[in-house]
Amino acid sequence: TSLSEISSKYKIQLIGNSGGSVATTPETKAVSFASAFSQHWDLKYNPWNVKAKRKLPTWRSVLNSCLPAFWSVALLKRLLTTTPILEWVPEMEMLLVVLESYTLPTVCAVIMATSRRETESVAMAAILAACACRKTIVGGLLVGFLVATLEEHLLYMCLLQWNLPA
């Protein structure tokens, strides 16, 4: 790369990683740079051992946030089953199965996960993890909580311990 050419030409020591990918977030860059400086200066760096108290969302606030999705699913299901819409929608049974089985657990997982940690990777991971929670809203809430908790630790492990690019 051009940075490596310049550093070799002018005998400059580069610290850390200079690049990134399309999916690199400001947080991963900051962790990467801080880790590189701590290694260069022989300091210990543990970003996941933060002493600050985080305010956890209550189950009630998360379920209140999910209420519009509950109403929408109930109204849409009622609309699909009581109106003569069968001519318009060829796979109505499949649509009802998706509404009943996957919509509410996915919404609950995403709202729970993003109420703890607001990043795109958490929302995407919550959507993927909620696919395992068929027909269970409590499962969606637990998966969202676990995704938000584990995502941060796994991110730091990938960056700092396994030297994987984020």
| Mean local confidence (pLDDT), 128-146 | 89
- With a pLDDT cut of 70, the percent of the chain lying above it is 80
Report pLDDT for 71. Answer: 93
Residue 16 in this model has a pLDDT that exceeds 60: yes
More reliable by pLDDT, 3 or 151? 151
Residues 6+ apart with CB under 8 A from 104: 66, 69, 70, 73, 137, 140
Residue 92: in which H helix or E strand, if any? Answer: helix 92-98
Kindly state the percentage of the chain with pLDDT values over 90. 14
Q: Which two tokens stand for residue 12?
A: 């400059």
Measure the CA–CA gap between 91 and 80, rounded to whole angstroms: 11
- This prediction has a pTM of 0.64
pLDDT at 55: 66
Give the phi and the psi of residue 95 in degrees, each rounded to 5.
Answer: -65, -40
User: What pLDDT score was predicted for residue 18?
Assistant: 56
Q: What is the pLDDT of residues 40-89, one digit of tens each?
A: 888 887 776 655 556 677 778 888 989 999 999 999 888 888 888 767 77
pLDDT value of position 121: 78
Query: Could you tell me which residues come within 8 angstroms of residue 116 by beta carbon, excluding any fewer than 6 positions away?
Result: 54, 56, 57, 122, 144, 145, 148, 149
**51 residue type, one letter:** K
Interatomic CA distance for residues 100 and 122, integer angstroms: 24
Mean pLDDT of 75-104: 83
Mean pLDDT of the chain: 80
- Which residue's structure tokens are 């051009």? 2
Q: Is the pLDDT of residue 10 over 70?
A: yes
